[in-house]
Chain A
């Protein structure tokens, strides 16, 4: 569970514990990030089995190469998200390319469209995870909990004005998921893997 002051220290300690070969640390890592990883992989691949596979790959990679993550470069969560995205898109390309080779129906444009779609979706997930907590909290209330903006304001202890502003701003940030050019660097800092 969240400890608001935890992040960099938790990330660094986690890395040290993984490097030390502590199986209990791997369990904690999974408990913290599994739903993020699996959810993100599923968003790209739309397939339970494939997402399980990506989840396995992501954690195996971290477990085998804990030194690949550099705490100086950013939070572990972003790194994990970027790694997940990368592996998921790789998998998508591979499976789609294989399907393409076997069928006459799909075209390479279809493939690119799928990849592009997956990219936008993954980028959106990433934006939600990395936006400032107050914006995310407002979106969370309004969207997932179906609170109206007045209730959201009360929940968050802000003015209604501010609640509206956060909702609008949060969505504006999210809408930039559509803007990014094609693949290039996945969301998050590069260099995962």
Chain B
């Protein structure tokens, strides 16, 4: 978790001065009234008789091990522990403030600051450390020096207590715990109460939902997560392939490939002027990766998310109208299928990412999963034909006659179990043929998630856990064809 993301969503907005209840006079930059002594009514740095007082200020020192106050998350836990004595720390030497003599020049103090331990710090410096001390963000020596000082300086002790209590108020927003299903439920409830004039088309909703889920996963990533290694895996028709990248590299990949949809919609190409070797998903991705001098970083998240929002927004407007075909370089998909395909890829890669950083990640909602499986099932006959053309699959079994377009032909029944599943009849001999229960020669049953892993190229076809009845060769060809749907 780093600042850029945790507060990324906050950074875009208002300065402090815009808030009514804090008023313009508290604008950042006029901090003197805080940094100075006036605000908290401190005495004039001459000590206030607390020196030598054996009782530490309530609640301040009890948590004050040499490591400083309790770490984050234990903010409430600073009540005094009965019977437990504060650590015995030698009394601080009297500081110049306590002596009533004039303070040394600020520059001298600055020069003295980086001194190594043991530390004897001026009151001024000790006070400036109170915030860092309350956050357990100073060195052990400084912590000790501050805590010694608190026993002798009432004003600092008061402020220290106040700041410690303030630390208890800091709280990380619980975005991690936000149920991903909540988005769907909240949006549905809203749209129920006021039907949208410009709805998100049914076929764009899986993409909308999956990109939002992935974005929520990324929300809490720190640098180590962004740079965690990920291996992209796919099956090129003959063999399993893979490519090493990082979490940020995966998002760059999604950005580059989603870009083909953006292009089809007339939006900006994230590749900009960069020339891809081939306008394919892999070609575009490699070009994008190459184009930057440094490996992708978290900064890729913004452009990716902005593009995905832009795509959803644009298809909502162009929805029913003429839908452009989306070119993947060596093949095309109608826009609505391309949007399902991108949703599928988004989920698959979100799982890659979640695996890489050991986060759990759920499959899409059954309705969306069903659409993804349906797309794969519809693409299977074409993929089979393609494999045949390239000699990778057995020739069509049409000894005497070709199956005319629109006629029933040999069929495989694909049964997908689990939520989002269903049954599909896959014509085996030609993409133009019609699947038919009467011509069923084989039956394959797979779990939905397993089928998706297969179609994503994450499971070798021969190892897919599939229940099989009937023509072995046809089944093998179909499973291989399913795997060959995968790409980088």
Of the candidates A30, A134, A174, which one forms a contact with B28 in the assembled complex, judged by CB atoms under 8 Å apart? A134
Among B11-19, B91-99, B476-484, the stretch in contact with A: B11-19
Write the A127-152 contact mask toward B (1 if CB under 8 angstroms, else 0).
11111111111011111111111101
Of the candidates A63, A169, A171, which one forms a contact with B167 in the assembled complex, judged by CB atoms under 8 Å apart? A171
B16 lies within 8 A of A130 (CB): yes
Question: Contacts of A10 on B, CB cut-off 8 Å?
Answer: 12
Question: Contacts of A145 on B, CB cut-off 8 Å?
Answer: 1-3, 222
A139 lies within 8 A of B170 (CB): yes
Interface residue? A43 (CB, 8 A): yes
Q: A42 — nearest CB in chain B belongs to which residue?
A: B174
Question: Contacts of B35 on A, CB cut-off 8 Å?
Answer: 165, 168-169
CB under 8 Å from chain B, chain A span 15-52: 20-28, 30-32, 34-36, 38-40, 42-43, 48, 52
A2 lies within 8 A of B71 (CB): no
Of the candidates A27, A161, A178, which one forms a contact with B312 in the assembled complex, judged by CB atoms under 8 Å apart? A27
A140 lies within 8 A of B7 (CB): yes
A172 lies within 8 A of B71 (CB): no
Question: Contacts of A147 on B, CB cut-off 8 Å?
Answer: 137
A147 to B223, CA, bound (A): 14
Interface residue? B34 (CB, 8 A): yes
B173 lies within 8 A of A167 (CB): no
Q: Report the minimal beta-carbon distance from B219 to chain A, rounded to whole angstroms.
A: 7
A121 to B26, CA, bound (A): 21
A20 to B317, CA, bound (A): 12
Q: Report the minimal beta-carbon distance from A31 to chain B, rounded to whole angstroms.
A: 6
Of the candidates B13, B15, B136, B183, which one forms a contact with A30 in the assembled complex, judged by CB atoms under 8 Å apart? B183
A55 lies within 8 A of B132 (CB): no
Question: Contacts of B171 on A, CB cut-off 8 Å?
Answer: 39, 43, 121, 124-125
Main secondary structure of the interface of B (DSSP, over half): helix
Q: Report the minimal beta-carbon distance from B284 to chain A, rounded to whole angstroms.
A: 22
Q: Report the minimal beta-carbon distance from A156 to chain B, rounded to whole angstroms.
A: 9
Interface residue? B242 (CB, 8 A): no
A2 to B303, CA, bound (A): 10
Question: Contacts of A75 on B, CB cut-off 8 Å?
Answer: 13-14, 18
A144 lies within 8 A of B132 (CB): no
B309 lies within 8 A of A24 (CB): yes
Interface residue? B422 (CB, 8 A): no
Of the candidates A3, A4, A161, which one forms a contact with B110 in the assembled complex, judged by CB atoms under 8 Å apart? A161
Interface residue? A1 (CB, 8 A): yes
Q: Report the minimal beta-carbon distance from B218 to chain A, rounded to whole angstroms.
A: 9
A2 lies within 8 A of B8 (CB): yes
A74 lies within 8 A of B11 (CB): no
A22 lies within 8 A of B313 (CB): yes
**Of A5, A75, A177, which is in contact with the most chain B CB atoms at under 10 Å from its CB?**
A75
CB under 8 Å from chain A, chain B span 236-279: none
A140 lies within 8 A of B3 (CB): yes
A80 to B172, CA, bound (A): 18
CB under 8 Å from chain A, chain B span 167-207: 167, 169-175, 177-179, 182-183, 185-187, 189-191, 193-200
Question: Contacts of B316 on A, CB cut-off 8 Å?
Answer: 22-24
A83 to B106, CA, bound (A): 46
Question: Contacts of A36 on B, CB cut-off 8 Å?
Answer: 9, 173
Interface residue? B475 (CB, 8 A): no
A23 lies within 8 A of B12 (CB): no
Q: Report the minimal beta-carbon distance from A78 to chain B, rounded to whole angstroms.
A: 7
Q: B22 — nearest CB in chain A belongs to which residue?
A: A130
Q: A5 — nearest CB in chain B belongs to which residue?
A: B12
Q: Given A2-B10, A143-B135, are A172 and B163 also a contact pair (CB < 8 Å)? A: yes
Q: Report the minimal beta-carbon distance from B211 to chain A, rounded to whole angstroms.
A: 9
A21 lies within 8 A of B198 (CB): yes
A170 lies within 8 A of B16 (CB): no
Interface residue? A106 (CB, 8 A): no
Question: Contacts of A24 on B, CB cut-off 8 Å?
Answer: 198, 200, 208, 309, 312-313, 316
Of the candidates A21, A27, A185, which one forms a contact with B194 in the assembled complex, judged by CB atoms under 8 Å apart? A21
Q: Given A24-B316, A55-B186, are A77 and B10 also a contact pair (CB < 8 Å)? A: yes
A165 lies within 8 A of B178 (CB): no
Q: Report the minimal beta-carbon distance from A41 to chain B, rounded to whole angstroms.
A: 10
A32 lies within 8 A of B9 (CB): yes
B174 lies within 8 A of A39 (CB): yes
Among B123-131, B326-334, B335-343, the stretch in contact with A: B123-131
Question: Contacts of B39 on A, CB cut-off 8 Å?
Answer: 172
Interface residue? B215 (CB, 8 A): yes
A38 lies within 8 A of B178 (CB): yes
A52 to B21, CA, bound (A): 28
Interface residue? B301 (CB, 8 A): yes
Q: Report the minimal beta-carbon distance from B480 to chain A, rounded to whole angstroms.
A: 38
Question: Contacts of A39 on B, CB cut-off 8 Å?
Answer: 171, 173-175
Question: Contacts of A174 on B, CB cut-off 8 Å?
Answer: 166, 169-170
Q: A40 — nearest CB in chain B belongs to which residue?
A: B173
A142 lies within 8 A of B137 (CB): yes
B302 lies within 8 A of A2 (CB): yes
B7 lies within 8 A of A136 (CB): yes
A34 lies within 8 A of B186 (CB): yes
B131 lies within 8 A of A167 (CB): yes
Interface residue? B84 (CB, 8 A): no
Question: Contacts of A48 on B, CB cut-off 8 Å?
Answer: 177
B178 lies within 8 A of A27 (CB): no
Q: Given A60-B190, A140-B3, A142-B137, are A55 and B182 also a contact pair (CB < 8 Å)? A: yes
Write the A69-80 contact mask toward B (1 if CB under 8 angstroms, else 0).
000001101100
Question: Contacts of A120 on B, CB cut-off 8 Å?
Answer: 169
Question: Contacts of B9 on A, CB cut-off 8 Å?
Answer: 1-2, 32, 35-36
A147 to B105, CA, bound (A): 30
* 7 A-B pairs whose Cβ atoms sit less than 8 Å apart in the complex: A1-B306, A22-B313, A34-B183, A35-B178, A38-B182, A145-B222, A177-B169
Having A136-B7, A188-B21, one finds 17 other A-B pairs with CB under 8 Å, namely: A25-B313, A26-B187, A26-B190, A31-B183, A48-B177, A56-B190, A63-B190, A75-B14, A120-B169, A128-B170, A148-B138, A155-B3, A161-B113, A164-B131, A168-B130, A174-B169, A177-B166
> Which 8 A/B pairs are nearest by Cβ-Cβ distance?
A168-B131, A21-B197, A132-B28, A167-B131, A35-B175, A39-B173, A1-B302, A124-B169
